[in-house]
Amino acid sequence: MTKILFTCFAFLWAFSAQAQTNYAKAKEQGKAAMVVHYLENYPFAYQNEQGQLTGLEIDVVMAFADWLMRVKEIKLSVEFVPYTDFAKVYEKIKGAPDGQIGLASATVTKERQKEVLFTPPYLKNVSMLVTNIDVPTLRAYSDMPVFFENMTALVMRGTVLETHLLDVRKKHFEKMRVSYVEHPKEVVQQIAETNKQYFGYVDILTYWSLLKQKPANLKIHRVASLGNQFFGLMLPKESSWAGAWAEFMEGGFGFPATETYYNILQRHLSYEVIETVSMP
């Protein structure tokens, strides 16, 4: 199956999606064009050592294209458009026409569902509070004003983690200072490069990816972990492709029950996190 997926990937890159296609027209013509707006963010979407675009979310799109060909007899051509700012991907999809999709390791929330559609979740997520290893470990949120005194929280604007962090400030740490970054990796990198200047919430895969690339003096404050989150791919509110994505993700036993799904996780992740983030 892996060979099929990589063949499909080569096929996708061989075309440019000059005009996006609605799903009804795609079924009628047996072909479709789609624009994929993606956030450059390892391990979700990144360039591998050979300079090829790959990643968890890229591979899910590849698997969807393979499914369209096998099950619906629709050939899909795709244009990939990169971004380095989550907010720009989200805003693009909010106002996008049919036939476009956003990949940005986006958490499914009720607020976002008012503005965009989400595919069924492809991954679970846990967000963790991270600091330099020398900061005392929190045993309760009430410790924050003492242990995190004179520190600044880092977070991306417009994210679930910003909402949660501001709620924590309101309830437990009114004097908390907050500084904004554009990319999730900046949170971990700035914490790692300083002593006790910063703290912040990061997704488990962002934390894992930094430690995988370079050991750092970081630690997790587990009492403040934020679970029960799910990642989905984003579609414009009026997208005609929502039904096809739902069928692909949830039909039969569901895509997360397939060998292809587990091959994707094993290709981009490792044993430390696969069990935590894989869908049931």
The pLDDT tens digits of the residues spanning 221-253 come to 999 998 889 999 999 999 999 999 999 999 999
Distance CA 82, CA 90 (A): 13
Amino acid at 270: S
Distance CA 82, CA 25 (A): 27
Share of the chain above pLDDT 70, in %: 93
Q: Is 138 helix (H, G, I), strand (E, B) or coil?
A: coil
pLDDT for the residue numbered 19: 60
Tell whether the model's pLDDT for residue 13 goes beyond 80.
Answer: no
Beta strands 116-118 and 123-132: pairing type? unpaired
And the tokens for 11?
């096929």
The overall pTM is greater than 0.85: no
pLDDT for the residue numbered 20: 72
pLDDT for the residue numbered 220: 94
Could you read off the pLDDT of 102-138 as tens digits, one per residue?
A: 999 999 999 999 999 999 999 999 999 999 999 999 9
Q: Quickly count: other Cβ atoms within 10 Å of residue 33's Cβ.
A: 18
Tell whether the model's pLDDT for residue 7 goes beyond 50.
Answer: no
pLDDT for the residue numbered 280: 84
Tell whether the model's pLDDT for residue 78 goes beyond 80.
Answer: yes
pLDDT for the residue numbered 237: 96
Determine the distance from the C-alpha atom of residue 232 to the mean position of all C-alpha atoms in its chain, rounded to a whole number. Answer: 7
125-228 carries CATH number 3.40.190.10 = yes
Confidence of residue 36 (pLDDT cuts 50, 70, 90): very high
The domain spans of the chain are 2-124+229-277, 125-228
Q: Of 179 and 18, which is predicted with more confidence?
A: 179
Tell whether the model's pLDDT for residue 8 goes beyond 60.
Answer: no
Q: Quickly count: other Cβ atoms within 10 Å of residue 116's Cβ.
A: 21
Which of 229, 231, 186 is closest to 206 using CA atoms? 186
CATH of span 2-124+229-277: 3.40.190.10
Tell whether the model's pLDDT for residue 1 goes beyond 60.
Answer: no
Give 10-51 as a DSSP string: HHHHTS--SS---HHHHHHHTEEEEEEEEE-BTTTBEE-TTS
Length of the chain: 280
Tell whether the model's pLDDT for residue 83 goes beyond 70.
Answer: yes
Distance CA 180, CA 155 (A): 5
125-228 shares the fold of 2-124+229-277: yes
Q: Is the peptide bond before 43 cis (omega within 30 degrees of 0)?
A: yes
Q: Of 183 and 88, which is predicted with more confidence?
A: 88
Confidence of residue 11 (pLDDT cuts 50, 70, 90): very low
Amino acid at 96: A
pLDDT for the residue numbered 243: 98
Q: Contact, 69 vs 7, CB < 8 A?
A: no
Confidence of residue 254 (pLDDT cuts 50, 70, 90): very high
pLDDT for the residue numbered 165: 95
Q: Contact, 234 vs 209, CB < 8 A?
A: no
Could you read off the pLDDT of 195-227 as tens digits, one per residue?
A: 789 999 999 998 998 888 877 889 999 999 988
β-bridge partners, 181: 156
Could you read off the pLDDT of 48-63 as tens digits, one per residue?
A: 999 999 999 999 999 9
Q: What is the mean pLDDT of the chain?
A: 91
